[in-house]
Amino acid sequence: MSSVQTSPTTTIKRLSWKTARALPASIATPSYDRSRVVPGIVHLGVGAFHRAHQAAYVDDCLAAGETGWGITGVSLRSADTRDALTPQDGLYTLAIRSSGQEKLRVIGSIGSMLVAPEDPSAVLAALTDPRSRIVTLTITEKAYLRAAGGGLDVAHPDIVHDLANPELPKTAHGFLTESLARRRAAGVPPFTVLCCDNLPANGATLHRLLTEFAELRDARLDVKSDAGIAGHIAHQVAFPSSMVDRIVPATTDTDRSRIAEELGVEDAWPVMTEPFCQWVIEDNFPQGRPAWEQFGVTMVSDVRPFEDMKLRLLNGAHSAIAYLGLLGGHVTVDRAFADPAIRAFVDALWAEAIPTLPRNAGLDTASYTAELAERFSNTALAHRTAQIANDGSQKLPQRIVASALECLEAGTRPEHLTLVIAAWIAACEARGKTLPESHFADPLDVPLAALFGRGLPTGETVESVFDLAGFAKGEPGRGKLMDLTTAHLEQLRRGRPAAAFATLRI
10 Å CB burial of residue 247 (0-12, 13-18, 19+) is: buried
Shortest distance (Å) from residue 487 CB to ligand CS2: 26
Q: Which is nearer to ligand CS2, 372 or 500 (CB)?
A: 372
Q: Which is nearer to ligand CS2, 246 or 335 (CB)?
A: 246
As a whole number of angstroms, the distance between CA 71 and CA 137 comes to 12
As a whole number of angstroms, the distance between CA 357 and CA 360 comes to 10
As a whole number of angstroms, the distance between CA 58 and CA 94 comes to 14
Q: Which is nearer to ligand CS2, 289 or 395 (CB)?
A: 395
The residue number whose beta carbon is nearest to ligand CS2 equals 318
Residues of this chain that bind ligand CS2 (CB under 6 A): 198, 245-247, 315, 318, 387-388, 395
Q: Maximum Cα–Cα distance for the chain, whole Å? A: 70
Q: Which residues contact 35 (CB under 8 A, 6 or more apart)?
A: none
Shortest distance (Å) from residue 148 CB to ligand CS2: 20
Q: Which is nearer to ligand CS2, 29 or 198 (CB)?
A: 198
Name the residue among 107, 33, 44 with its Cα closest to residue 72.
44
Shortest distance (Å) from residue 318 CB to ligand CS2: 4
Q: Which is nearer to ligand CS2, 199 or 233 (CB)?
A: 199
Q: Which is nearer to ligand CS2, 124 or 342 (CB)?
A: 342
Shortest distance (Å) from residue 6 CB to ligand CS2: 32
Shortest distance (Å) from residue 322 CB to ligand CS2: 7
10 Å CB burial of residue 343 (0-12, 13-18, 19+) is: middle
Shortest distance (Å) from residue 197 CB to ligand CS2: 9
As a whole number of angstroms, the distance between CA 385 and CA 75 comes to 25
Q: Which is nearer to ligand CS2, 46 or 388 (CB)?
A: 388
Shortest distance (Å) from residue 388 CB to ligand CS2: 4
Q: Which is nearer to ligand CS2, 114 or 321 (CB)?
A: 321
How many Cβ atoms are within 10 Å of 185's Cβ, its own excluded?
A: 10
Q: Which is nearer to ligand CS2, 112 or 387 (CB)?
A: 387
10 Å CB burial of residue 491 (0-12, 13-18, 19+) is: buried
Shortest distance (Å) from residue 326 CB to ligand CS2: 13
The residues facing 14 across adjacent strands are 266
Name the residue among 308, 212, 318 with its Cα closest to residue 274.
318
| Cα angle value 241/243/244 (rounded, 5°) | 130
Q: Which residues contact 479 (CB under 8 A, 6 or more apart)?
A: none
As a whole number of angstroms, the distance between CA 405 and CA 479 comes to 11
Helix (H) or strand (E) holding 94: strand 92-98
Shortest distance (Å) from residue 272 CB to ligand CS2: 12
Q: Which is nearer to ligand CS2, 213 or 279 (CB)?
A: 279
In 188-236, at which residue ranges do the beta strands (DSSP E only) sit?
A: 192-195
Shortest distance (Å) from residue 304 CB to ligand CS2: 17
